[in-house]
Chains A and B, each alone.
Chain A
Amino acid sequence: MKTLKKIWKHRAHVVMALPALVLLIVFDYVPMGGLILAFKKFDYRSGIWGSPWNGLENFRFLIASKSIFLNITKNTLMYYVIFTALGMFLEIVLAIALDQLVFKRAGKWMEAVLIIPVFISYTAVQFIVYAFLSSDTGMLNHLLGKSVRWYSNPAYWPAILTIVKMWNGTGYGAILYMSVLAGIDPQLYESAQIDGAGKWQQILHITLPSLVPMITVMLLLSVGGIMHSDTGLFYQVTRNSGALYETTQVIDAYILNSIFQNSNFGFTAAASFFQSVVGTVLILISNGIVRKLHPENALF
């Protein structure tokens, strides 16, 4: 009764929160229930409830079709590791470089230019990549004086996608680290200088340690998305070309394809379930570990 009275006192706040809560529940929470599809033999006409249960059949199918499932999982994990490791490294290097630069106005300009790519959609990026890689009109073949058929050889694509991703996200990612660097007390650097520490020593002993909490938070957040990929990159930039699937198809792109082809719903539902659950379990585990070691850096 007492809590109800308290809530009634705050009815205005409930009303203000309501639209957001309704949207979250309708468009995020209800689809979580859709994961039961993984345990059903889905038939579009009978809907989710009407479709019959079929236990773990979909998962057996998933494991039986080893090659596809292993391949998309392998690709998803491979790109997660490359993008996270290289991306974080480049973002931190860029942030430190811009922070160390004494030409502040020039730094601001360069920062502004470096962020732009993240605002270009992958549907547009796809055309830009094509301008570089098209076998007869592309800039790259012109520069190399060769006629490499980039779009038919999967071996090139891990490198191509990594370059595109780094071009796209590094400038934007660096801002977060720069905000931390901007908050470092300048006196720390000054007293280090007096003690005779060089630039590199200052970076090693003052700059890098101050970034550790932010690095931990970013890593933890990224672990939750370990099974998810930047779908546009893998679906648009590769032109969804079947010849490249071997090295470019990730779980998300596979699911998108099977929605369009209206096929393999059981398999896809099982893969989707796997994707959601693994991500969540991993983030819970890694957050638990961080909380044990450095409680102040944990997410929750």
Chain B
Amino acid sequence: MKDMSKSSAQLRRHKKIPPGQIVLLLILLAVTMITAVPILLVFTSAFSDEQTLARNGFSLLPEVWSLSGFNAVLRYGKQLFTSYGVTIFITVTGTVAGLLIMSMFAYSLTIRDFPLRGLFTLILLVPMLFSGGQLSMYVIYTSVYHMKDSLLLLILPICVQTMYVIILRTYIAGSIPEELMDSARIDGAGEYRTFFQIVFPLMKPALAAVGFMMATMYWNDWQNALLFIDSDRKKPLQLLLINIQKSIEALLSNRNIPPAALAAMQGRVPQYSATMATVVVVIGPIMIAYPFFQKYFIKGLMIGSVKG
């Protein structure tokens, strides 16, 4: 709000603001608020009292604030910490490995006189146009590679993304001066040193952009976990979230429970504020990291959108 009044004051000094601009601003503010409401709802209902919520329903301004939801989350205890650990492990390993592997690949695709450049680019692009689909991936990964219940399946299959390689390649080709690489080579640096000591450090803005997108992709991946992971100690957060929803549904749809018992349980089945508290725990880290990376990935997307 403060920035806005400031910038409008600045502008007023130059020229009068047309009324159309005020209307536009109000409309955009309304759209932004409507977009933000569902996210706010997660946070407010996570901090509201379970019983009041069950009685009066979800609302943006809870009548009774409470931490009971988070207490209930802690009841998942060990599994929550295990899942957090698994998700962090997958996200960090996948993002670091992916950035390194994709950057090296992108670099080799920028070498002008590299005879295999065309072939490698083709290999990179085809998966964007044609894929085996979920079923064949599932069958190949489990019955040919025998990798069911392996954490590697949560990391490796999505580690190289065509779009991201293109962004990195465009960045190297467009923003890192070729003379810099040439002079390193003339000074006797091998290709590996040229890449790791000159090119890689200069790729920071592109790495931040792609890195954040990779990290959210790994953090949010539920499908591979649902398909491949069976054992509790390998369950990532997203799968835990799915399991929570399934167990609530099973409890509520079980007609064998007498209504009186169900009513007594309603307060204790972690249904409303507790699940929202879990959602906060799951999306929290992304929300915290987002502001730091925001300007990089807007830039990164813009680089990638320039047809390379």
- Chain A residues engaging chain B, CB cutoff 8 angstroms: 3, 6-7, 10, 12-14, 16-17, 19-21, 23-35, 37, 42, 44, 47-48, 94, 97-98, 100-107, 109-117, 119-124, 126-128, 131-132, 134, 136-139, 141-142, 167, 171, 175-176, 179-180, 182, 199, 214, 217, 221, 224, 231-232, 236, 239, 252, 255-256, 258-259, 265, 268-269, 272-273, 275-276, 279-280, 283-284, 300
In the complex with contacts A13-B108, A20-B101, A259-B138 CB distance below 8 A: yes
Query: Quick one: which of A25, A48, A134 contacts B139, CB cutoff 8 A?
Result: A48
The number of residues on chain B lying at the interface, defined by a beta carbon within 8 Å of a beta carbon of chain A, is 103
Query: Quick one: which of B21, B42, B58 contacts A101, CB cutoff 8 A?
Result: B21
Contacts of A107 in B (CB 8 A): 28
When chains A and B are docked, how far (Å) is the Cα of A119 from the Cα of B126? 27
Least CB distance from B225 to A in Å reads 10
When chains A and B are docked, how far (Å) is the Cα of A16 from the Cα of B108? 7
- Chain B residues engaging chain A, CB cutoff 8 angstroms: 3-4, 6-8, 11, 17, 20-21, 24-25, 27-29, 31-32, 35-36, 38-39, 41-42, 45, 53-54, 56-60, 101-102, 104-105, 107-109, 111, 113-116, 120, 123-141, 143-145, 156-157, 159-160, 165, 190-192, 195, 216, 219-223, 227, 238, 241-242, 245, 249, 272, 275-276, 279, 282-283, 286-287, 290-291, 294, 298, 301-302, 305-307
Contacts of A26 in B (CB 8 A): 145, 156
Least CB distance from A60 to B in Å reads 18
Residue of A nearest to B60 (CB): A139
When chains A and B are docked, how far (Å) is the Cα of A104 from the Cα of B24? 12
Residue of A nearest to B106 (CB): A20
When chains A and B are docked, how far (Å) is the Cα of A124 from the Cα of B39? 10
In the complex with contacts A12-B192, A17-B104, A106-B3 CB distance below 8 A: yes
Query: Quick one: which of B41, B131, B272 contacts A31, CB cutoff 8 A?
Result: B131
Least CB distance from A278 to B in Å reads 11
When chains A and B are docked, how far (Å) is the Cα of A32 from the Cα of B60? 48
Query: Quick one: which of B25, B114, B222 contacts A232, CB cutoff 8 A?
Result: B222
